Amino acid sequence: MPERRVAELEQAVARRAFWRGTLTFGLVSIPVNLLSAEQRNRAGLRMVGPEGHPLGRRFYSSRDDKPLDDDDIVRGYEVKKDRYVVLTDKELERVAPERTRDIDLRLFVEADRIDPMLFDRAYYLLPGSSSTTSYRLLARVLEETGRAGIATFVMRTKEYLVAILSEGGILRAETLRFLDEVRTPEQVGLPEPVKPGTAAVKRMRKAIAGLARSKLDPKELVEPSAERLKKLVEKKARAGKEVVELPEEEVAEEREPSVPDLFSLLRRSVGGKAAAEQRASAGGKGGTPRHRSREELYEQAKKLDIPGRSSMSKAQLARAIRRRAA
């Protein structure tokens, strides 16, 4: 792949990094970028008007059906049924965890001893600078020892517990559920286990052996209903049936270079020559609100003292900033 194309792909990946910070423990400090390891490929159904315009959602008061603007929305903590304590943005900021740019590694454990029920969401950790020696070293040692690092970090005013794992020389961060977020068998109401008979155990072993495979076939991970829906949409699109499209002048979406294989690109970034200047410029805080992370937009909204900012999504923050600047 040409070096220029590699640089473009690295820039595209850097733009997709929504959190940048440092992985730290002891005297070790490793700059990293956080990227989601998930992609939403489920049916892309949107609510649209008869002319193809996407429909937006609005909040209404349940008392008088009056539509509310962002400035009218406040946060309430329910203390009992239909009774709320209203909290301001400044109050929420005072009790929020300290904003840092560190992923603080607290301890290391055997990775296979972590209960799978604790895993929540997966992220890739991409080296945040052209120097990847410490990154490669940590990834190799974690993989060879079968250990995972347990760490905490703050993202978007919330503190997360994560497991840092390594596979194929790439670090991955898996957010973990806290104990009070996992239901025990007793809480679910499961009955006490009953010891089965020997004959029943043999029959079950035989049934399982008949379906046993050495590894999971990726074809088993395809959602059949989504594939059927996709084929239906493609058929109707080819026939031109019931297709609505916005005029070209109303489509303002900018297109970025495609990233055909994020995992292989991460390998290239870790093991090959890094485009340091391009990554540094991509990691800056400039650019339009549309290409900035929610955390960066939130900080700007905080400086502009935009009310209701703590409950706004990235899109709502961007709109509020544009309205304030107008």
Asked whether 32 and 126 are in contact (CB, 8 A), the reply is yes
Q: Are residues 116 and 156 in the same domain?
A: yes
Query: 201 in a domain, yes or no?
Result: no
Give the number of domains in the chain.
2
Q: Are residues 169 and 296 in the same domain?
A: no
Query: 113 in a domain, yes or no?
Result: yes
Q: Are residues 157 and 291 in the same domain?
A: no
Beta strands in 130-238 (DSSP E): 147-155, 158-167, 170-176
Residue 175 pLDDT:
93
Query: 192 in a domain, yes or no?
Result: no
Residue 65 pLDDT:
82
Phi-psi region for residue 242, left (φ > 0), alpha (ψ -120 to 50) or beta? left
Q: Are residues 95 and 133 in the same domain?
A: yes
3-class secondary-structure state, position 300: helix
- The domain of 2 spans 1-43+84-182+258-284
Q: Are residues 139 and 17 in the same domain?
A: yes
Return the CATH number at 263.
2.40.290.10
Asked whether 149 and 142 are in contact (CB, 8 A), the reply is yes
Asked whether 33 and 128 are in contact (CB, 8 A), the reply is yes
Instruction: List the beta bridge partners of residue 196.
Output: none
Q: Are residues 117 and 175 in the same domain?
A: yes
| Global pTM value | 0.63
Q: Are residues 101 and 38 in the same domain?
A: yes
Query: 198 in a domain, yes or no?
Result: no
Query: 76 in a domain, yes or no?
Result: no
Tens-digit pLDDT profile for the chain (326 aa)?
Answer: 445 554 555 555 566 777 888 999 988 888 888 888 877 666 667 788 777 777 877 888 888 888 888 777 888 889 888 889 988 888 888 887 777 788 989 999 999 999 999 999 999 988 887 668 889 999 999 999 999 999 998 887 788 999 999 998 899 999 999 888 888 888 888 888 889 999 999 999 999 999 998 888 888 877 777 778 888 888 888 888 777 776 554 444 434 444 445 556 556 655 554 344 333 333 344 445 555 777 788 888 888 888 777 777 777 888 888 888 76
3-class secondary-structure state, position 65: coil
